[in-house]
Structure 1
């Protein structure tokens, strides 16, 4: 699987997992979203076990569909009913991998998702308004990643220095390329950046 992930060709907006899933413990919401884009293709033909990979791909595609629905800003009653049916269908298919799990997939977050998400949406509207992905991404970008590139000694000044350097370079980039085509030349290739969050610093 790691070999397949590393073999995926570069494409704008698509993260390449050159090291496979070796750093899975450091993954945040952004990495999982990027992984969701490519995993069905990675699993295709990976297992020669009576079509098990096809079933896993179907399970993964249903999960992607459910995740996409949770990003909606609002739900109608019909959409919420369809979402609940999709969740139940996915949970029924999840039995497929239960035998490969040490605890038979008895995870608290999974229980919360299947049994409490729909009532929570009815009470508090779309989960897109009360999830923590934004804060998790900011934590990873401004705390976790700078910490990992430090020497782990007296880390606070190093983290602050890394973050300030990144912000300064972003401001310089904005100043230089403001109201100009957003091109960044590297190895005779043109990489387009839609916004300043993708600046390669």
Structure 2
């Protein structure tokens, strides 16, 4: 199964929902996340959370942050000859950061540390070697937290995702994905 979702502007102090409404038995096997920064500063501090089999307030499985979850600890960093840090794309068998575009986000407010360079990013994580098993239900969320010189802060960005999972039949019906105009980039 696969489920696509998008929030053109995520809600402040509320986690972005990657997957919800899954009832039955199965295994979560992957996440693709597309992020266009609407705010400046680093975007990757928020945790990916798996609420499994009735979890309510606290998830059974929780990452240490999006940059770690998608395999790019230390900000997907590469340094130039002047010591300036730049995000670096990469592809590996189970994690990756294959898409980075300043052109697609050219009308956005910001990106990394520089307000004048907005960026759209695409990241993936396959849970093939470490599937997340569930017996009754599953909800996956991403905490929208960034960081700046003064510490961490709640963010609002344009986020889309696709969640992938295997599930035994029968399963509950899924919500429709919305009309075509909503799904297209701005």
TM-score clears 0.5:
no
Of Structure 1 and Structure 2, the greater strand share is in: 2
Answer with 1 or 2: which has the greater Rg: 1
